[in-house]
Structure 1
Amino acid sequence: MLPSEQFDSTRVQNESKGIQNGDDEWDGTDIGLFGSNTGFFEAQGSAAELGYALSENEIHRQIQDFKEFCNDLYVDVVSPPFQSCDDDEIRTILGISSQSSEQIEVEQEGSYVLMERSFELLRRHGGKRLRSDGEKSNADSQTETTHSRGLMMSTEKIIELATENFIQSMSKSKEISLVRHPYPSSMTLARSADDLKAVQLVHNLLLSAEKVDEKKYERARKLLEECDRMSSSAGTPIQRLVFYFTEALYEKMDRETGSISPRGMGKKILHSLEDLQRTNRFRLSLHKNQPLSQIAQFAGMQTVIEHVAEARKVHVIDLGIRSGLQCTILMQALAARQERHVQHLRITAVGTRSRPTIEKTGRQLMAFAESLNLNFSFHIVMVTDILDLNERLFELDADEAVAVYSAYTLMYMIGQADWLEHIMRVIKSIRPCVMIVTELEANTNSPAFVRRFVEALFFYGVFFDSTAECLKNDERIRKEGESTCFSSSIRDIVAAEESERKIRHVRLNVWRAFFARFGLAEVELGMSSLYQANLVRQGFPSGGSCTLGMNGKCLTIGWKGTPLCTVSAWKFLRDSDV
């Protein structure tokens, strides 16, 4: 276990030729959706392990790029004073609708249960949609509009219709009532030949997943061969989605049968410097062109700013700092504060590996703070095991206002219950004034394979639609990212089981129940946080497709009505004793 250390920029600068880091450009994204985490989660092929060094000139260039990028993104949004709005006004601005939480139950496996489960999943899926500005609430009207414009249906709608088609075909032999099902026949809505082909493609994929679940591998392979024929990594969003889910099913069969197929475990996934560079280019492009990541960062950090408004000394503990871009939002806001001038800002990054990458983030933040004339220090708490983490390592100052920031970090500990329990006890002992949690709104943690498969299909289907729209001017970057980030995440969720499965997501209601055990109470996000979220959304060409909503006191960020991630704020109850 390594002790907490103050970040010494001079020492690191002098030793820069010995620092190993493989990124040839600044990784500007903190989206954290696809398995990149320099903190708790073991990032695949981290740059620190590849043995590449940067020169002092390269470090200087990266710091300058970092400063310029931060200024371009944030100065116009953070600097203007917030103009207060009442609750009704801000909700009108955002187009926010209420969204009730749902209870997810793990069911038994089997064909009959699969159909019942799919009914419930589709019913809940239709009910949880958020309405974006001007969005019609009637699904049929949306489809009519889509066809009148000569466009193909959305990936999400195609999956819905394919699932219905699958259920109907299976129900003929299982005699399941279709009364509860909310969607009309796929033959009625899918009027174009392309739509029908897409529905049939997803239908075959679902049938393949069912056969894999039943361990009818020969039948599954024949169906997957048909999926191969109809899908492509360079086709429509639905064809690309099926292409990568097909690969994941091949790998699952390979794992279970001990065989190696070209599309399964026989596909070599490299972790070279070139792979990392492609991944970083995709993440950076997605961060610049898709609103979700930046909206979450602004809403979360604005909430931190509100909770440290009276503090002279501020200490933020970041559980997964990555590039630290979220910290620049806080830094600019504190530097611009006219009243209650901040004497000192301290940021502590927590990690278990990839120390050189975290140190690189520290250098960039130190340079950025210097450009703002902000009294700033950067600390690293590095432990070899999360269970070694304790509050003494943070060297807390009684005069500091402490906040904890966790973005896409806790989900990587879901598979290790003792890690989650321990980190929550440590945070409770720190007693932060606020804890910000950003997580994906998905349920891919089910031990039931088919449930996990269908949930992941819907979730990534929305993301494929999103990247198709947001990266339409950079198809090469989009294709690279889907073949690395999306592919590896889908493979992990679909093909891996038990302890081998690293990527797990649970919905907000599950986190609520978990946090309640430790005496955490949910705090409503302030109007300024929602205002900032809306400003960021409006700044994107694709902002109209991004949907904001409220789930209780939590901000939900979605794409064309489907929630994809949540930003929530929490405080410990003083009388709690867990």
Structure 2
Amino acid sequence: MTNREQSAQFQMANSASDSAEHSFSGVEDRLSSSNRSNGRIIAGEGLQVPFSKTEDWADSGDISSFSNYRFHQCDLTRKQAPSSENKQREQLQQLSSDYGLLDNLQCNVASLPIQTCLGETTKFARISTKLPDINEARKDKPFQIPISSLELLRNHGSGFKRLIGDGVLEPHTGHGKAELSTTEIMRIASAKYIQSSSGPGDDLALPDYSCLSEEKIRNVQLAEILLAAADKVGCQQFDEASGLLDQCDELCCSTGNPVERTVYYFSEALREKIDRETGKISIKGLGKRMTLDVEEDSMRPSLPIIAHQQLVPFSQIQLFSSIQTIVENVAEAKKIHVVDFRIHSGIQWTVLMQALSARRECSLELLKITAIGTSSQQVIEDAGKRLETFAQMLNVPFSFKIIMLQDMLELKEDLFDLDEEESIVIYAWFLLKTMIYQPERLDSAMKVIKKINPCAMVVIEAESNHNSPAFTNRFAEMLFFYSAYFDCFEECMERDDENRTVLESVYFGQGIRTTLAAEGEERTIRNVRIDVWRAFFSRFGMVEVDLGMASLYQADLIAKKFPCGSSCTLDMNGKCLIIGWKGTPLSSLSAWRFE
């Protein structure tokens, strides 16, 4: 049997197992684009907000707490005498320093209640944070990694590939110069590796290398070595894989260009995978593993997370658009009850308070927030105290309750103080993915939510499939996803920025290692696409809710406030907003209710 025949046979076997691999709790992760729609939103007075025209969408690190936002000084004249107005505003400014400020963001849209203004940057106390040629490797071995599946490559590539008539990959253009993105370089390397290993592909168009710089060519070759190493790990040829990873180590570093950084952390993950499989401990593998609980650590505002939210647009787009969606779903409610499963600093609810205090037609009788937590009780209590103080400043009637659980299975309907007259909203910011590896907890939580029967459930999740039990499938998915993030950091942050180093090494690096190297319940970091969540929510009788024109307008408006905003892509998948980087999807924002 020829190499091409063996590769085709392997691809067929992979295709047959895809439905089992891309699922959780019996829900299939459909890769087809049949249900995906593109379009543009008409917002404001005839203003047309175009959304990126991607053919197909191909998932962070967890971007969670938001603690860097400059509060809009609301018009309080109807509540305060003119003589006390300045004092009131000074108090609000002082309180805002507890959360931090958001530089260079001004969203003064008359038709929208959520607004911000320019301000000086808060000075935070310093927080200590622990922070070639590869033909020989391919000899006598057909390419077996599922990246060789042209269908899988097409699903990843079509969202960002731009092929012109002569088959040359047209580079992404940003800031006036043409440049291949990190994700595009990974796609070229994948196509080259497939072609050289399995023979020419019928529809693989490779770029004209005469148009690439020497650095780009070296980057493609480096990525090919990483692909070869992943191939060997997938085939359990660990000695050969280690040799290839040694080559990667010689050619990349954690402070280099985004391709080198991506390869560096994926190389670490592959070494840890080898250590786990062989039981050997290497200095660069398990011997270097960090034990930080990323989920719990992200609850506490830190300099790296604050820098991320200042300089990278995704968190702010998610926050403002999601709060706008909540505002629209409780427009006529006098009593509002928000259930937040991961409150973090609580900054999102100061934005909601300002929006509700500005309402003219429907006065607010009570804003109730219930915070659910399984750890970091002191952090949640501190968030509650800040929110209570902020509510007093705005004269917003407010109550705050904490429900601490040892296990999500303990969550019951009778733990909530429910009022028949209140409108309930569930806020799930990167929550559901934390329970995918424990489906009984996810099902239990959903059953409780159904009994509460919220008027809306706002869900923010990463948009990628990192849940396949097959290592090689996870590698393919993650390579494109994290390549987009490393590319984003290159455009939004300086290479020698200490905060960037911590974000990449601690948060992204650990996420890559956990997802690639661990198996079973040890693989706690998982993500699935919006199509999977749709199928899952439908089991509980949930239907998708329109986000609303104002929410989509907020997303586009905030993206434009960032210097790198032109590279941040927004698209609609049904009624869901997909937020991406240069066409590669990174997160989804959707709203749901029970029929």
Please give the TM-score of this superposition, normalised by the length of structure 2: 0.75
1:497 corresponds to:
519
Deviations 1:186-219 (A, max 9, x none): 5537622111111111111111011111111110
Question: Using the alignment, how far apart are the partners of 1:316 and 1:486 within structure 2?
Answer: 30
* 1:293 lines up with 2:320 in the alignment: no
In the alignment of these two chains, the number of paired residues is 482
What secondary structure, in the 3-state scheme, does the structure 1 residue paired with 2:426 have? Answer: strand
Question: Using the alignment, how far apart are the partners of 1:335 and 1:67 within structure 2?
Answer: 20
Q: 1:113 to 1:209 in 2, by over 3 A?
A: closer
Question: Using the alignment, how far apart are the partners of 1:141 and 1:208 within structure 2?
Answer: 25
* 1:154 lines up with 2:181 in the alignment: yes
The Cα of 1:476 is off from its aligned counterpart by 2.2
2:110 to 51, 55, 80: 80
User: How big is the alpha-carbon RMSD for the aligned residues of Structure 1 and Structure 2?
Assistant: 3.1
2:157 corresponds to:
126
Question: Using the alignment, how far apart are the partners of 2:365 and 2:494 within structure 1?
Answer: 45
2:476 corresponds to:
454
1:142 corresponds to:
170
Matches within 5 A, 1:202-217: 202-217=223-238
Question: Using the alignment, how far apart are the partners of 2:275 and 2:523 within structure 1?
Answer: 16
Q: Which amino acid aligns with 1:66?
A: D
1:374 corresponds to:
396
The Cα of 1:391 is off from its aligned counterpart by 1.1
Q: Share of identical aligned residues, percent? A: 44
The Cα of 1:114 is off from its aligned counterpart by 3.1
Is contact 1:234-1:240 (8 Å) kept?
Answer: yes
Q: 1:283 to 1:571 in 2, by over 3 A?
A: same
1:29 corresponds to:
none
2:378 to 333, 336, 356: 356
Q: 1:506 to 1:190 in 2, by over 3 A?
A: farther
The Cα of 1:433 is off from its aligned counterpart by 0.3
2:450 corresponds to:
428
State the structure with bigger RCO (CA 8 A, min sep 6), 1 or 2.
1
Deviations 1:465-496 (A, max 9, x none): 11111113862221222111111111111111
Is contact 1:412-1:502 (8 Å) kept?
Answer: yes
Q: 1:572 to 1:148 in 2, by over 3 A?
A: closer
* 1:197 lines up with 2:228 in the alignment: no
Is contact 2:230-2:270 (8 Å) kept?
Answer: yes
Is contact 2:146-2:476 (8 Å) kept?
Answer: no
Q: 1:388 to 1:130 in 2, by over 3 A?
A: farther
Question: Using the alignment, how far apart are the partners of 1:307 and 1:239 within structure 2?
Answer: 45
Deviations 1:400-450 (A, max 9, x none): 110101011100111011011111111100100011111111111111111
Q: Which amino acid aligns with 2:159?
A: K
The Cα of 1:138 is off from its aligned counterpart by 11
The Cα of 1:145 is off from its aligned counterpart by 6.0
Matches within 5 A, 1:48-87: 63-66=95-98, 69=101, 77=107, 80-82=110-112
Q: 1:391 to 1:77 in 2, by over 3 A?
A: farther
Q: 1:559 to 1:400 in 2, by over 3 A?
A: same
1:166 corresponds to:
193
2:541 corresponds to:
519
1:555 to 548, 560, 577: 577
What secondary structure, in the 3-state scheme, does the structure 1 residue paired with 2:97 have? Answer: helix
- Return the structure number with greater helix share: 1
Matches within 5 A, 1:18-417: 33-34=60-61, 63-66=95-98, 69=101, 77=107, 80-82=110-112, 114-115=145-146, 118-129=149-160, 140=168, 142-143=170-171, 149=177, 153-172=180-199, 178-181=201-204, 184-186=205-207, 188=209, 191-269=212-290, 271=292, 280-417=302-439
Q: Which amino acid aligns with 2:276?
A: R
Question: Using the alignment, how far apart are the partners of 2:341 and 2:99 within structure 1?
Answer: 23
Q: 1:517 to 1:262 in 2, by over 3 A?
A: same
The Cα of 1:143 is off from its aligned counterpart by 2.4
Is contact 2:544-2:590 (8 Å) kept?
Answer: yes
Is contact 1:522-1:571 (8 Å) kept?
Answer: yes
Question: Using the alignment, how far apart are the partners of 2:400 and 2:429 within structure 1?
Answer: 18
What secondary structure, in the 3-state scheme, does the structure 1 residue paired with 2:472 have? Answer: helix
Q: 1:147 to 1:64 in 2, by over 3 A?
A: closer
1:92 corresponds to:
none
Q: Which amino acid aligns with 2:201?
A: L
1:103 corresponds to:
none
The Cα of 1:69 is off from its aligned counterpart by 2.7
Deviations 1:259-286 (A, max 9, x none): 111110111526599x969982111111
Is contact 2:369-2:399 (8 Å) kept?
Answer: yes
Q: 1:186 to 1:404 in 2, by over 3 A?
A: same
Is contact 2:173-2:179 (8 Å) kept?
Answer: no
1:466 to 472, 488, 493: 488
What secondary structure, in the 3-state scheme, does the structure 1 residue paired with 2:98 have? Answer: helix
The Cα of 1:61 is off from its aligned counterpart by 11
Consecutive unaligned residues of structure 1, counting only runs of 5 or more, are: 1-31, 39-59, 84-109, 574-578
Q: 1:475 to 1:253 in 2, by over 3 A?
A: same
Is contact 2:171-2:179 (8 Å) kept?
Answer: no
Q: Mean Cα displacement is larger for which, 362-371 or 312-321? A: 362-371
Question: Using the alignment, how far apart are the partners of 1:367 and 1:494 within structure 2?
Answer: 44
1:18 corresponds to:
none
Is contact 2:60-2:482 (8 Å) kept?
Answer: no
Q: 1:484 to 1:521 in 2, by over 3 A?
A: same
What secondary structure, in the 3-state scheme, does the structure 2 residue paired with 1:142 have? Answer: coil
Q: 1:140 to 1:329 in 2, by over 3 A?
A: farther
What secondary structure, in the 3-state scheme, does the structure 2 residue paired with 1:345 have? Answer: strand
The Cα of 1:164 is off from its aligned counterpart by 0.5
What secondary structure, in the 3-state scheme, does the structure 1 residue paired with 2:101 have? Answer: helix
Question: Using the alignment, how far apart are the partners of 1:313 and 1:482 within structure 2?
Answer: 42
Q: Which amino acid aligns with 2:280?
A: S
The Cα of 1:226 is off from its aligned counterpart by 0.3
Q: Which amino acid aligns with 1:419?
A: R
Question: Using the alignment, how far apart are the partners of 1:528 and 1:136 within structure 2?
Answer: 36
The Cα of 1:374 is off from its aligned counterpart by 1.1
Q: Which amino acid aligns with 2:434?
A: Y
Question: Using the alignment, how far apart are the partners of 2:521 and 2:512 within structure 1?
Answer: 16
Q: 1:130 to 1:549 in 2, by over 3 A?
A: farther
Question: Using the alignment, how far apart are the partners of 2:410 and 2:316 within structure 1?
Answer: 32
What secondary structure, in the 3-state scheme, does the structure 2 residue paired with 1:317 have? Answer: strand
Q: Which amino acid aligns with 1:77?
A: C
Question: Using the alignment, how far apart are the partners of 1:189 and 1:226 within structure 2?
Answer: 25
Question: Using the alignment, how far apart are the partners of 2:335 and 2:97 within structure 1?
Answer: 28
Is contact 2:255-2:496 (8 Å) kept?
Answer: no
Deviations 1:15-39 (A, max 9, x none): xxxxxxxxxxxxxxxxx9435879x
Q: 1:531 to 1:487 in 2, by over 3 A?
A: same
2:35 corresponds to:
none
Q: 1:383 to 1:130 in 2, by over 3 A?
A: farther
